[in-house]
Structure 1
Amino acid sequence: MAAYCDAVRQLEHKFDGLELNHVARCFKEAADELEKVVSGQKPVPDGVFISDQHKPSIHYEEPGEVGNAPPVPDSGADPSDPKVMEIDTDPAEGADPPPDWRAPYLDYLICELLPTNKTEARRITRRAKSFIVIDRELYKRSHTGILQRCIPIE
C-alpha cells in the first residue's frame, strides 16, 4: 500500500486535485474475488455471467453526422391521458428560473471561458475532466465509461 501511495504522491503535481481514500479489506472482498477470477487464479463461480466486450455496445454520432440516431422506443403511454400531459403552467410568481448548472462547463469546454472567481475556475477545470461535449450537448462519463446526458435542473 505504501508503495502505491508513494507513486501517487510523485504524480500529484500533474493534477489539479488529489483525494486518497483507504478502503478496509473487509469492504473489498467481492472485488478481490473478481480479480482472482479475471487473473485466472480461480475458476468462474456458478451463476456468474462473463462476457468479453471487444467493441463499444453503442454508437456515438460524430459531429456533423445526421440521421443515424436509433429510433426512440414507444413508452406505451396514451397521449390523450390527462395524467400524462398534466403540466404545471403557473410557476411561482416573480421567481427567477434557476441558473443552468451546465453553462460554466459548456463555456469552458467549448469556448475555454472560466469564471473570474479563482476558486470556482479551479473547480470547473477539475470537474470538467469527466465531461464531454457532443453536438453542443454535455455528457458525463461514468466510471464505467458510459456517457450520461446532463440535463437542466428543471
Structure 2
Amino acid sequence: MDANCAEIRKLEGKFYDIEYHHVVRDQNQPANQLSKIGSSCAVVPPGVFVQDLLVPSITEEKEVEEIPPAEQLVLAVPMPVADWREQFIKYLTNSEVPTDKTDTKCLIC
C-alpha cells in the first residue's frame, strides 16, 4: 500500500486533481467475490476478464536482500559453547588449572 501511495504522489503534478479512497473489503463485494474465485482456482465467470501480471507493476528503489529460510535458521542457532565439564576433566586427569583466576577459584572451591 505504501508503494502505491508513493507512485500516486509522483503522478499528482500531472493531473488537476487526484482522489483515492481505501474501501474496506467487507464493503466491496465484487472484489471480495473475485478474491474468492482467485484463491480457490475456480472457473472465471463470463464477463470477467483475467490478466496475469508476470512482473511487478511498481518498481521499488530499494534493493532488499532476501535470505533463504534455511540460512536464516543457521544464523539464528547460536554457536556451541565449550563443554562445562571439560575444565573438571582436565583438572582431575592432568591437574591442569585454567589461566583465569576466577575460573580456577570456581574449579577448586
| Structure ID, larger Rg | 2
User: Relative to total residues, which structure has the larger helix share, 1 or 2?
Assistant: 2
TM > 0.5 fold call: no
Structure 2 length normalisation: TM-score? 0.34
